[in-house]
Structure 1
Amino acid sequence: MIEGQTGTCAIGVMAKAPQAGRSKTRLCPPLHPEEAAALSAAFLRDTTETIAIAAKSAPITPYAAYAPAGSEAMVARHLAEGTHLLLADGSSPMPEGVSGFGRCLLHAIHGMLDAGHTAACVLSSDSPTLPSALLIQAAEILMAPGDRAVLGPADDGGYYLLGLKAPHAAMFADIAWSTGSVADATRARAQSIGLELVEIAPWYDVDDAASLEVLLAGRDGDAAPCTMAAIDRLGLRSRLRQAAAE
């Protein structure tokens, strides 16, 4: 249990250990596996820095909900200072209907709430430019009296954030993960159990070549300095321009 966690909102980025061939595979091509892993590591750093920035303005505790087990050291080296590690590999017992990535998400929610936080959010690791203001807004909504959920929808039909004040397993049950129906299915689950769902502004995930182009185009958002440095180091702008011209 973390000291002083009562009256706080935990925000945990879903942190898969950056490994070539296992990280951001939908970005290959145009990236090589080693490059995708390097970009994944930069995303983790920028996302946890964003949580840390938000924590200066709201009662937020940063987490990295990591997988697989045993990868703590590999994940930890890419995190902002003060980020707590939490295993979220879906290995704990799960209610019927909760499968796939939903197991990891619910595992993370349980872990953060069990640590004594008033509310908990799971956060995508694919949105390095996400504005910290959206995390502050999510925390403020959740910290108000009464049970509710907060949804941050992604442009691709998924979501970049889901926040809860209780571990409502129904929010993760019978969801077709990695499809464009995830956010709509989550809205339907909230309605089915009578849970108030508050939505905040949408943002975009960087999980394929098209969304990588959006990132390179410099859409408004936080600076994501580690991500931008990795893009420059890998020469991605010129490579993608050349590929488009061929």
Structure 2
Amino acid sequence: MLKTSQIQPQHLIIFTRYPEPGKTKTRLIPALGTLGAANLQREMTEYTISQVRELQKVVNVSVEVRFAGGDLQLMEEWLGCDLVYQPQGNGDLGSRIERSLYNAFQDHAQQVVIIGTDCPGLNSRILAQAFAQKDTVDLILGPAIDGGYYLIGLRRFIPELFVNIDWGTSQVLHQTVDIANRLNILYHHLSPLADVDRPEDLPIWQRIWETEVNMK
């Protein structure tokens, strides 16, 4: 767990993977090759971090990176030593999300938002919208067009949301909402966005990348 002093009442957790060729963005390897897929993982994570830094200019939020693959030294060499890193640990995605939420709330966070790095449409404005819900609902969901979610935010620990979910399928969001309804949890949906997971998704990232380059 983090030191309590590192946790703000509003806390953001980024799930990502170290960009090792052959072990990341594997569904894109047929289109990009192992190195190209790893480079895409690197670029998309760096873009997400840039949006988080923009968020921190307007919202007082602490940030933690939960990583898979690599190690602490490799993550610090890649993304810098000013971020807090924790390994995701074992288990399916639900177990890893649940663990990270439990740790954050144990460390006195009052609102925790978790995002991945697969959704380039997720920008600082949408992140700010998620944190703005802290006084209105217990659950915030960012629906992904493929049926999952690109963001989940809670203001209390609700482990039931991560049980009996078919992770990696188009049923994830629907099943999560069903659980929320069953538990009478107030929730809010953000704008739906597209993940970049398959070759046909690459134009989504290309548009974001070209916009970023043109703005520099």
Normalised TM-score (structure 1): 0.78
Distance 1:20 1:4 in 2: 32
Say whether residues 1:109 and 2:101 are aligned partners: yes
Q: In 1, are the aligned partners of 2:143 and 2:149 still within 8 Å (CA)?
A: yes
Match of 1:59 in 2: 60
Q: Which of 174, 179, 204 is 1:189 aligned to?
A: 179
Tell me the CA shift for residue 223 of structure 1.
Answer: 5.0
Structure 2 residue ranges without an equivalent (≥5):
none
Cα drift, residue 2 of structure 1: 4.4
Q: Quick check: 1:155 aligned with 2:145?
A: yes
Shift of residue 152, structure 1, vs aligned partner: 0.5
SS at match of 2:141: strand
Q: Are positions 1:165 and 2:155 aligned together? A: yes
> 5+ unaligned residues in a row in structure 1: which ranges?
91-98, 230-246
Q: What is the identity, as a one-letter code, of the residue corresponding to 1:138?
A: A
How far, CA to CA, are the matches of 1:208 and 1:82 in structure 2? 32
What is the TM-score with the length of structure 2 in the denominator?
Answer: 0.88
Q: CA RMSD in A?
A: 2.4
- Structure with max Cα Rg: 1
Residue 60 (structure 1) shift: 1.6
Kindly tell me: are residues 224 and 152 of structure 1, through their superposed partners in 2, closer, same or farther at Cα, counting changes over 3 Å?
farther
Amino acid at match of 2:159: A
- What is the number of residues matched between the two proteins? 213
After the TM superposition, which parts of structure 1 deviate over 3 Å for at least 4 consecutive aligned residues? 221-225
Q: Secondary structure at the match of 2:79?
A: coil
CA contact (8 A) 2:118 2:195 kept: yes
Is 1:83 aligned to residue 73 of structure 2?
Answer: no
1:40 aligns with 2:32: no
**Alpha-carbon deviation of 1:188?**
0.8
The 1-side partners of 2:212 and 2:163 are apart by 33
- State whether residues 15 and 64 of structure 1, in contact with CA within 8 Å, keep that contact through their aligned partners in structure 2: yes
Determine what percentage of the aligned residue pairs are the same residue. 23
Cα shift at 1:12: 1.1
